Amino acid sequence: MNRIRKGDQVIVITGKNKGQRGDVLRVDGDRVFVSNVNLVKRHTKPNPQANQAGGIVEREASIHISNVQLFNPAQNKGERVGFKTLEDGRKVRVFSSGEVVDA
């Protein structure tokens, strides 16, 4: 079970994008892709078979998972995430303040 998953809202805690928030688009091992964070310009060739135009495309690059924290809307800041097993046997993610992330 990962601490950060696709669809989570995270905040960048270090690097050139420090303080930016966004939703996780994809988790790829120990790297995450966050919407509108760490944007890079990529020069692409046109590909008529895939109906893709060429030019300069701006898209998200990956960030190491250690450089982002899960955003807690109740505290309005990023927090560490741990795991807890409930009475019914489900394993859920919890913030360090004790709030359950997964409903």
Each residue's pLDDT tens digit in the chain (103 positions)?
Answer: 789 999 999 999 999 999 999 999 999 999 999 999 999 999 999 999 999 999 999 999 999 999 999 999 999 999 999 999 999 999 999 999 889 997 5
> What's this model's pTM, rounded to 2 decimal places?
0.86
CATH of domain 8-47+54-95: 2.30.30.30
Task: Please give the Cα distance from 35 to 40 (Å, whole number).
Answer: 12
What are the angstrom distances between the C-alpha of 71 and each of 10, 12, 79, 81, 93?
5, 9, 6, 10, 13
Question: Any idea where the domains of the chain sit in the sequence?
Answer: 8-47+54-95
